[in-house]
Amino acid sequence: MATSLKNLSDYDASKVPSAKDLKIGIVVAEWNMEITGALLQGAVDTLVKHGAKEKNIVIKWVPGTFELTLGGQFMAEYEDMDAVILLGCVIQGETRHFDFICSGVAHGITELNLEHNIPFVFGVLTTDTLEQAKDRSGGKHGNKGDEAAITAIKMAALQAEMED
């Protein structure tokens, strides 16, 4: 659903499992730091709100959104994570670079989900303008970081349920 029709930070907290025993990795792009920093804050706040211990939230930075997939792979290979959230922001420019980055990252995150036995959450904003990015990183449309954290909790819980 388009975020203009739904606030990214609105959810039914009663339907979110506890995150108290989860170890969550977050890989954040440095590019568009104003936006990605706000996404990170939203994700961390939401994880803690649902019981995650701050010591169990591992944050790593990568130069840009394109590097999120390799950062996510490193997180899965070198850390024992229940889920990994990938946060970035790509804003349309004058060239096709936007298309290549968005396509590559979406494909890469899909591959990570299929190759590793943990959920990888797509927390990447792909907007036409900086204003749209601000609206989705704590502005009038909520925070994609909140949504990504809820998705990570729910997917980790689903995996745990399936393993039982």
Classify residue 22 by its DSSP letter: -
Coil vs helix vs strand at 26: strand
E strands, 63-155, in order: 83-91, 120-127, 137-139, 142-143
Catalytic residue status for 141: no
Q: How far is CA 156 from CA 62, 84, 102, 151, 160, in A?
A: 23, 10, 25, 8, 6
Q: Are 113 and 149 in contact (CB under 8 A)?
A: no
Distances (CA, A) of 63 to 32, 33, 142: 10, 10, 25
Contact 68, 25 (CB under 8 A): no
Which of 97, 107, 116, 141 is labelled catalytic? 97
Task: Using the structure block, give the residue that is written with the tokens 């790509």.
Answer: 90
Residues annotated as catalytic (active site), given as ranges: 97
